[in-house]
Structure 1
């Protein structure tokens, strides 16, 4: 009964028109088994900006503002610092005017001393007074520069391009030195921080391309650097992946395929080539008679859209990747161009 049924199925398969299929010519590919690890997108520049002077907060940008390097993010009241600048400038001007007078006195006593109308002691005293004034002027210039710097520090400026991610103060509050004002995040220069088991470090080097799964996308990104220092508790090292050219968001999570062994030439087929029926896994190979031969295979490992398999297949075999779902063994097929 079973032999009759099998013969009937084969006869029906031979009588049916050839099924349209697409094929992939099997080739050896450089592949390696991988492990999926979780990573996080971080900014290369993420800073909490603080006040460098005391003062009342007069203005501050809102969260979400995009700023350029050097742009004012927050402004403290300037009145007190303005007065210090004016006081320092007035003191410097006074000392410079006094120095002009002292130098004229030095010249006058020099002439008198040359005519024996003044003692050399008086001349040296005037010279000393002039030198003291010169040093006082240097100190006054320093005080003026310091006052100007404090005045400039009332404006808190962006040290790099970025986005305001948080605001820690509000207009009207009195701010002390060191009080946090805003968090500024550079959203253009990003890394994926990937904690990786130490035993896999030899398979990852600077420049190695890794596949990163993010939502419904798969990206291929280069390793920026590998930190060759392991954590004694977790036995993990930190791998940094360059994410500058992507639309990944800072703070988001991704999954990265990390190689567990050196890459080698392996027979690989697209995932769509595999046919799984119950406990059996196989592929269909198109032979010279344009028939679909069923070939049992074992899956060694997968790498992205490719699967490394073991079985009676070799490079150059035409493996069906489209249209294999309803095929019967030895069915006639019509190979379509992909």
Structure 2
């Protein structure tokens, strides 16, 4: 006798729940048309961020590193001293070159005086012209020796300046390759600098893609980690040469100076505009994703019906490409949650 009473209670509870749920009417749902239109086609390539202006400073003389004044991450100015190499030997070379200049200067002064004496004696008839000519030759040799000595002194001073490692550009120290006490060798990298105000993204394009965009104005969007959305490149260029090993062409896209938090070596994705093509699209807001299922609610005569789709690329204007599941002219619900509630209410009423 209790079983019928329990069934009636369950039915009453379900009816109360349905009556308490907010009603969703089909007229309240906004829909959008699935249409085919000419849209931009983009080639997506993996890229890396690099600095437009960078420098790897290498040693030009041999010696022990005695001072390190900058480390990775430090901001430096052009001309700022970053490292010092032991200059004892260079100082001795400068001192020796200065002594050679003094010796050559004395020799030249003596040769000038000898030439003047011989000229005076020649005028009085005490010496021949040959003696005067020999004095002129000796004076010229002394002058050449003085010039060579001065050049040697300048060369020694230049070598001594090489013991002071200065920043060639203003920027940030990206990496330090040597420590205090290590031996610097000519050609050995010591520091790497870059200018953070000018960065670009570099990617490799297949030759077929590069030939398709050659000669046309280039535009690209850059996707960076930590950025809210794609960033439009200020300038895009193709390097006029191809890699003979990979048969690819390098493309460079300059980042706006306002982009912050980007460093060389960072991963990026370059989306290069390569033309237009007709594609089936709809607003991306209409897509419903549940796990591995991607679907939309399509408007039919019998109400909204859930239909699985295969989406493609999300376009910059907020629409999404449809590869399969919809036809041109279909209408989809812009709010799939409300469409789902409406479908449940219709099923409950039936």
Fold equivalence (TM over 0.5): yes
Does structure 1 residue 31 correspond to structure 2 residue 44?
no
Q: Are residue 124 (structure 1) and residue 137 (structure 2) matched?
A: no
Q: Does 1:51 align with 2:59?
A: yes
The runs of 5 or more residues in structure 2 that have no matched partner are: 1-22, 344-350
Paired residue for 2:220, among 199, 210, 213? 210
More helix by share: 2
Structure 1 segment 150-165 matched on structure 2, within 5 A: 150-165=159-174
1:58-207 mapped onto 2 (5 Å cutoff): 58-60=66-68, 61-204=70-213
2:328 is matched with which residue?
311
Structure 1 residue 74, shift from structure 2 partner: 0.9
1:224 aligns to what? 236
- The residue number in structure 2 matching 1:236 is 248
- The equivalent residue for 1:334 is none
Between the aligned partners of 1:163 and 1:55, the Cα distance in structure 2 is 25
SS in 1 for 2:157: helix
Q: Contact 2:52 / 2:200 at 8 angstroms: preserved in 1?
A: yes
Match in the other structure for 1:12: none
Q: How has the CA–CA distance of structure 1 residues 154 and 219 changed in structure 2, closer, same or farther, with 3 Å as cutoff? A: same
Q: Shift of residue 106 of structure 1?
A: 1.2
User: 2-side partners of 1:234 and 1:283: how far apart?
Assistant: 46
Report the counterpart of residue 252 of structure 1 in structure 2. 266
Matched, 1:42 2:59: no
Query: How far is the alpha carbon of 1:62 from its aligned partner?
Result: 2.2
How many Å separate the matches in 1 of 2:103 and 2:119? 24
Once the two structures are TM-superposed, the CA of residue 236 in structure 1 deviates from its matched residue by 2.7
CA-to-aligned-CA distance 1:94-137 (integer Å, 9 cap, x gap): 32233223222212211211111222222111111111100001
Q: TM-score normalized by structure 1?
A: 0.74
Residue 216 and residue 101 in structure 1: after superposition, are their counterparts in 2 closer, same or farther (change >3 A)?
closer
Cα RMSD (Å)? 3.7
Q: Matched residues in 2 for 1:177 and 1:276: separation?
A: 61
Separation (CA, whole Å) in 2 of partners of 1:118 and 1:233: 79
Name structure 1 gaps, 5 residues minimum.
1-14, 286-291, 330-338
Question: How high is the TM-score relative to the length of structure 2?
Answer: 0.72
Listed one character per residue, the Cα deviations across residues 199-252 of structure 1 (whole Å, up to 9, x for unaligned) are 222454575222222225321214531134444554432211112523322111
Secondary structure of the equivalent of 1:249? coil
Which stretch shifts more, 31-40 or 268-277? 268-277
Alpha carbons of structure 1 residues 193 and 20: separation in structure 2 relative to 1, 3 Å: same
Summarize the Cα distance change of 1:223–1:77 in structure 2 as closer, same or farther, 3 Å threshold: same
Q: 2:24, 2:338 within 8 Å by CA — same for their partners in 1? A: no
Residues 211 and 295 from structure 1, CA distance in 2 versus in 1: closer, same or farther, beyond 3 angstroms?
A: farther
Preserved CA contact (<8 Å) 2:299 2:333: yes
Structure 2 counterpart SS, 1:32: strand
Aligned residues: 304
| Matched position secondary structure for 1:103 | helix
Is this contact kept in 1: 2:201–2:270, CA < 8 A?
no
Alpha-carbon deviation of 1:145? 0.9
Which structure has more strand as a fraction of its residues? 1
Q: Could you list the per-position Cα deviations for residues 236-274 of structure 1 after superposition, in whole angstroms to 9, with x for gaps in the alignment? A: 322111125233221111122344x62157675431144
Q: Secondary structure at the match of 2:64?
A: strand
